Amino acid sequence: MALYVTAVDENSPAERFGLTVGCALLAIDGHPLNDALDYQFYTTPTSFSLEVCENEQHRTVQITKAEYEPLGCNFKTYLGDEKHSCANHCMFCFIDQLPPGMREPLYFKDDDERLSFLFGNYITLTNLTDHEIDRIIQMHISPIFVSVHTTNPALRVRMLANKRGGEVLDYLPRLAAGGIELNCQLVLCRGVNDGDELRRTLTRSVGPSPQVGSIAAVPAGVTDYRKGLYKLTPYDKETAAATLDILEEFAQKCRAEYGRSVIYPSDEWYLTAERPLPPAEFYDAFAQLEDGVGMWRLYHDTFLEELENHTGLVLPHSMDVVTGTLAGPLIRECADALMQKYPQVKITVHEIKNEYFGGNVSVAGLVTGTDIIKQCSGKLHSDLLAVPEVMIRDEKGQFLDDITLEELGRALSCRAVSIPTDGGGCCKAMLSTHKRKNDKNSNDKRVEREEGRHGKTDCSHRGPPQRGQVHHF
């Protein structure tokens, strides 16, 4: 293996020592370079020998630099090679349930330990070998995020549809013994790995220990696109409550023994079971926010904190806000608190039902521009539509269905802007007037558009004219 340099940073050690675009980095101090993790790990010291191939000529470069100073080489991908794809066919896989016609990258299933370390992506371990486990321990690639789901080997083989699904569970204690912190995920499927199987999982292998930082438990997401897939039944109030009882029981035991909950049910369990969410203290450091654990509590508390402490001038203004049905009651509650304190502000919250995916999909992160347009047409109370930035998941500012903010604004004859997803940031955005640039031409075009569509320019009376399992509001 080799890493091929595609760019060299200016004034970097790589430039000083004559490394150029197109050269191949082969090894450092005799260690072969397979990917960016090898590169980052072995380029940390102040000095090392770098084997390079350039124009079919091999040479060794003695590198000296400051400790942890980047060498300055860049590669085709941030990993140095291609992402490792998933070899499983999990019964609950969300990607298998995506509608047709979406962007091709959205259908790619990764199962890459490097992405786990770099970005907190969950891996199943089925792609790994003993050698790679040794590398993780040697480089102390920590924490690692592992999709466990069950510690019953036979059941895990069945759930992952991978014959290695059970045997790789032996990697968990091995990683723990090597000092690697494990953050685990349990995607629970009704009648499959909950109940007694869940109790087994929480008491074996993955159970609480100094090396298990957190265990998130989330319900499997179900869309309308499950033709030919395992029949999953979404949780209802009663089954969600029964599962929550088990999770909270173990969380209480962990809190008594370790001083922290360790096991964290996602917000969906409480909302489905119609139970109040725990206080912020239950979530400790909110380690599993990306899995939808504690997002509701954190949003609520930080929103009200920002609202209470706000001292700036708040001018009269109106705003429409969209969110998913899961977070709708929360966003509405916070908006009402804001309007009670500042009556000159008018916030209208629109809960968008996810018809694009269907099923029990209710998180804001999976709301599409298509559904926003369909459900907000003729229902806006202002000329400003605020979209949580979690809905915009593409570097081009696109929703999952490729509609852009600009296109959304044109379709609804308004100005569409993205606002922060966190509570404090959202509160600040709702208190802001979001002033337009003082551009006469821009204003004239807006007026012409409104007159053409509605025969009037009063925008207060609108005429007709948006991650595996994602658990964002």
Q: What is the pLDDT of residue 213?
A: 87
* pLDDT < 70 positions in the chain: 78-85, 105, 107-108, 110-120, 205-210, 394-396, 434-473
Domain that holds residue 419: 298-454
Same domain, 385 and 247: no
Q: What is the pLDDT of residue 445?
A: 35
Residue written as tokens 């510690």?
151
Residue written as tokens 């899995």?
291
Distance CA(340)–CA(149), nearest Å, equals 44
**Does 460 reside within a domain?**
no
**CA nearest 399: which of 435, 373, 433?**
373
How many Cβ atoms are within 10 Å of 305's Cβ, its own excluded? 13
Q: What is the DSSP string of 32-67?
A: E--SHHHHHHHT-SSEEEEEEEETTEEEEEEEE--T
Same domain, 140 and 33: no
DSSP 382: S
**Does 376 reside within a domain?**
yes
**Does 469 reside within a domain?**
no
Same domain, 134 and 264: yes
Residue written as tokens 């040697």?
138
Same domain, 19 and 137: no
Helix, coil or strand: residue 18: coil
Query: How far apart are the two ends of the chain, measured CA to CA in Å?
Result: 42
Same domain, 312 and 278: no
Tokens, residue 386: 């605020």
**Does 468 reside within a domain?**
no
Distance CA(436)–CA(447), nearest Å, equals 14
CATH number for the domain spanning 35: value is 2.30.42.10
Same domain, 212 and 131: yes
Which residues make beta-bridge pairs with 219? 188
Same domain, 321 and 444: yes
Same domain, 10 and 32: yes
**Does 82 reside within a domain?**
no
**CA nearest 470: which of 418, 394, 377, 393?**
393
Q: What is the pLDDT of residue 258?
A: 87
Same domain, 113 and 225: yes
Q: What is the pLDDT of residue 127?
A: 84
**Does 465 reside within a domain?**
no
Examine the fold and report which residue of 287, 320, 351 is the final residue of a domain before the chain moves on. Answer: 287
Helix, coil or strand: residue 408: helix
3-state SS of 313-341 is CCCCEEEEEEEECCCHHHHHHHHHHHHHH
Same domain, 263 and 392: no
**Helix locations, 140-215, DSSP H:** 153-160, 171-177, 195-203
Assess whether the previous peptide bond of 143 is cis (omega < 30° from 0).
yes
**Does 466 reside within a domain?**
no
CATH number for the domain spanning 280: value is 3.80.30
Q: Are 473 and 324 in contact (CB under 8 A)?
A: yes
Residue 18 phi, psi (nearest 5)? 80, 20
Q: What is the pLDDT of residue 97?
A: 87
- 46, with CB counted inside 10 A (0-12, 13-18, 19+), is exposed
Q: Kindly report the pTM of this predicted structure.
A: 0.77
Helix, coil or strand: residue 74: strand
The count of structural domains within the chain is: 3
DSSP 93: -
Same domain, 121 and 243: yes
φ/ψ region of 400 (left if φ > 0, alpha if ψ in -120 to 50, else beta) reads: alpha
